[in-house]
Structure 1
Amino acid sequence: MPASRFEPSSIKNKIKREEVARKQKREKRQNKLQRRLAQAKAEANDPLAKKKRREQNVPRTLDNTREFDPSILTANPAAASSSSAAQPEASSSSSPQEHGQAHPPDHQPQDESAADLANDPFASYFSGVADPTVPPKVLITTSQKATRVTYNFCDELVNVFPGAESIRRKKGRGFEMGRIAGWAANRGYSHLMVVNEDTKKPNAITIVYLPDGPTAYFKLTSVELSKRIHGHGRPTDHFPELVLNGFVTRLGHTVGRLFQTLFPPMPEFQGRQVVTLHNQRDFLFFRRHRYAFRSTEKVALQEIGPRFTLKLRSLRKGLPAVKNLGEPSKPLEFDTFEEGERGEDMEMADAEATAQGEEGEGEQSEDKAQAKPKEVVPPTEDEYQWIWKPELETTRRTFFL
């Protein structure tokens, strides 16, 4: 009969039980350390053994065990179908030509993503019409009844985006988000950013691309202002560089291009400032650093701040809706109470005067139409392009950006 394993929990004396438990943990740590030292000593003499161990010990994560999704533009369906659970990364790096396989019928053509980029709402920004030396105008405001913490965070965002301006939101009716978006679009702003607050701390950000949308709503967590970051640097007025990681799906391309429009297309490299948005498991980690080349091989990073985490909750077409927008009142009409030939003569005279006026003022109206842009009016109903579904979070089948 094999001897049963001794458990410290069987000791009734508390002091003796804790002493024996500490001794067992100490022995376990020492044995593990000795095994690692012996393994390192053996691998120092045999580099191939170390390489083999690293190839076999591949951790299983959600990223390398994810099933093929047609919305992932950088995915390889042939490699994903032939991949095994034991070696997900090695199989995913192989191409269909290496295995002698043809593309499956549901393979996504490469020019499809290019067509999406050419017809999306941000195509005019990337066409090169705007001056690259002029930063986009961004209006930053808050929700109603905001506190000092949210205003301090808005001041940090003003330092992040070169063309940003912060205006405190007024209280009362008539200052809905859709009305503010239309007001900002009519005054030349390219973006509207609204920081929402709950329990006296910022918890969400809404980014509206003006004048025609879309509108993205993000949950905001893990906010750290610059003054709370140890050893933070001071920002400068130089245009930063932008780094986007992990935006590989169609939805990710849309969100990534939205963030690209917030920064000037030509960064100023003498400032050595970099803004990074790293997407991992649908969470967008925002960081801002300054880099310095210590040598030809080493680069030092100094975080400037702020740092926060975003998660996309919804993407709407157009501007935010205003439910109580209301229709404009009809103009007053007066009845002359005149009948017979006199009334007909007056109608004929009015028609001739109107025709002559249209001929004379035709050119002036065209010039005015070209000079004055069309007024932007918010819609009355929201039209969602994508919305987060809570039930998908339990099965880990989220829409990866």
Structure 2
Amino acid sequence: MRARASEEEEAPVRKSGNVSHIGNKHKRQDMYQKYRKEKARSKLQRRLQTAKDERTSAEGKRRRKERLAANKTKTIENSRTYNPTVLNAPNTHEVPSWMQPVSASSTQSENRTSTEQHDDDQTSDAEDGQDGEEGDSSESEEDDEEPEKLSDTASVDNEPEEMDEIVDPHQAKYDQDADPTAPPAILITTSLPSNATSPHLASANARSHPAEEVRNFVKELLGVFTGAEYRPRAKAKGAGLGKICSWARARRYDAVIVIGEARKKPCTLTLVQLPMGPTALFRLTSISYGKEIYGHARNTGHSPELIMNNFTTALGHRVGHMLQHLFPKVPELEGRQVVTAHNQRDYVFFRRHRYEFRSTEKAALQEIGPRFTLKLVSMAAGLPKGAGAWNGRFVDELEVDDPPPAQADGQQDGDLDDGIEFLWKPKMSASRRSFYL
């Protein structure tokens, strides 16, 4: 019996993992573990040999390209359902024929055919004029003179003229100041809690004091946006969000950010782009402050650079346009700060880092903070209700002591105007391959 056991121990590991013929349970487990280890060892040796061959020879490099092209991992991103509003189609989707740009050769051929048809029409008209009477010839001469007059007017219209109207109203501040390095003026405030959360407080001003977590998050935002200014909601004296936006619009603010509070923590972020809108409501999750990040860097107050990823649809471009207007056009490069807004599966991940070039090929990153995640809940075309129409004028002096008028009875804070462009519903997440940004 001992000789038989020694023979089984010295026997090589089986090529198959089937060990059901072994009656002893412990021996069966040992044999299967040896099979697993030998299989992993042979697989590792094969991968190392393949990597060596692909790295050393030209034929191996060619085989590596073919292998990577054939072995594509199937993910949720590259198997997403096609969205017809995609402006920059992802690499995993083929652009439809009706979305492909028209080539220059086809446009030239179309122009040639149109000119040939126009010449044929002119020759036929000239022949008809020769065969007709004198009255017809005089009419043809008048018709010949009219195109010359039209061509003269067309040449005048094609001359460059100075446009007095502002094409993009959001760029009014930049056009007037002519300073692309100036940070946008942003008004940051908090939401107004309801009586249900603080029933023991009868005054609206007493209820408007935010919690400590909300105040800490506002301080982090003031460090990110160099042109931001925080005003407590108590100074509005019960005014709605529409009146606050109207007051900020008249004083040349570029945006209004409202931090919503629930259970004494920030839960929502409302972004209003001035002076014409739109208004976006985001769900705020996964907040980490700078002091909570291990090995974090300190803020130096410089305007950061902006990197935006994966905003491909029309709605995504609109959201990215709103985030872009929160930062100046020209950043301060000496600060070496960069803000990243990365969109993945309709979740916008916000990060801020400082980079350092330690070599000519790689850069070291040190996170400054804060980090948080945004999820778009709704998007409205205009400003919140109560803002009213804009006459295009600004207030010369900032009236600090003049609060906006109180909201009317029955008007809820945060009600958006008509013309909702996007509204998230739970049924939209039924398919994990449908994305909207």
Which TM-score band applies after superposition, normalised by the shorter structure? Answer: 0.5 to 0.7
Which runs of structure 2 are paired with 1:284-323 in the superposition (5 Å)? 284-321=348-385
Q: Which amino acid aligns with 1:239?
A: S
| Residues 1:51 and 1:399: Cα distance change in structure 2 (over 3 Å) | closer
For 1:279, which of 309, 319, 343 is the aligned residue? 343
Residue number in structure 1 paired with 2:41: 30
Q: How many residues align?
A: 325
Cα deviation for residue 216 of structure 1 reads 0.7
Q: Structure 2: which 5+ runs fail to align?
A: 1-15, 108-165, 194-208, 388-392
Structure 2 length-normalised TM = 0.62
CA RMSD of aligned residues (A): 4.2
| Residues 1:371 and 1:284: Cα distance change in structure 2 (over 3 Å) | closer
Kept in 2: contact 1:121–1:213 (CA 8 A)? no
> Which whole-Å deviations, capped at 9, do the CAs of 1:247-280 have from their partners, x for residues lacking one?
2222122111111211111211111111111112
| Residues 1:63 and 1:399: Cα distance change in structure 2 (over 3 Å) | closer
Cα deviation for residue 127 of structure 1 reads 5.7
> Which whole-Å deviations, capped at 9, do the CAs of 1:274-329 have from their partners, x for residues lacking one?
1111112211111111112222222222111111111211111222236xx9xxxx
For 1:70, which of 65, 84, 95 is the aligned residue? 84
Kept in 2: contact 1:76–1:95 (CA 8 A)? no
Q: Which amino acid aligns with 1:385?
A: E
For 1:132, which of 169, 175, 180 is the aligned residue? 180
Cα deviation for residue 123 of structure 1 reads 5.4
Cα deviation for residue 369 of structure 1 reads 10
Q: How far apart in 1 are the matches of 2:337 and 2:394? A: 42
Q: Structure 1: which 5+ runs fail to align?
A: 83-93, 103-117, 326-367
| Residues 1:280 and 1:261: Cα distance change in structure 2 (over 3 Å) | same
Which runs of structure 2 are paired with 1:45-84 in the superposition (5 Å)? 45=57, 46-75=60-89, 79-80=94-95
Which one is further off, 126-135 or 37-46? 126-135
Cα deviation for residue 4 of structure 1 reads 9.7
1:386 aligns with 2:422: yes
> Which whole-Å deviations, capped at 9, do the CAs of 1:48-80 have from their partners, x for residues lacking one?
222221111111223333354331112399944
| Residues 1:395 and 1:234: Cα distance change in structure 2 (over 3 Å) | same
Cα deviation for residue 218 of structure 1 reads 0.9
Give the SS at the match of 1:276.
strand
Q: Which amino acid aligns with 1:261?
A: H
| Residues 1:31 and 1:219: Cα distance change in structure 2 (over 3 Å) | farther
Q: How far apart in 1 are the matches of 2:394 and 2:294? A: 55
Which runs of structure 2 are paired with 1:363-374 in the superposition (5 Å)? none
For 2:230, which of 146, 158, 166 is the aligned residue? 166
Q: How far apart in 2 are the matches of 1:305 and 1:22? A: 47
Which runs of structure 2 are paired with 1:209-248 in the superposition (5 Å)? 209-248=273-312
Identity of aligned residues (%): 45
Kept in 1: contact 2:217–2:289 (CA 8 A)? yes
Structure 1 length-normalised TM = 0.67
Give the SS at the match of 1:309.
strand
Cα deviation for residue 17 of structure 1 reads 9.3
Which structure's relative contact order is higher, taking Cα pairs within 8 Å and 6+ residues apart? Answer: 2
For 2:212, which of 139, 148, 161 is the aligned residue? 148
Q: Which amino acid aligns with 2:421?
A: Q
Residue number in structure 1 paired with 2:157: none
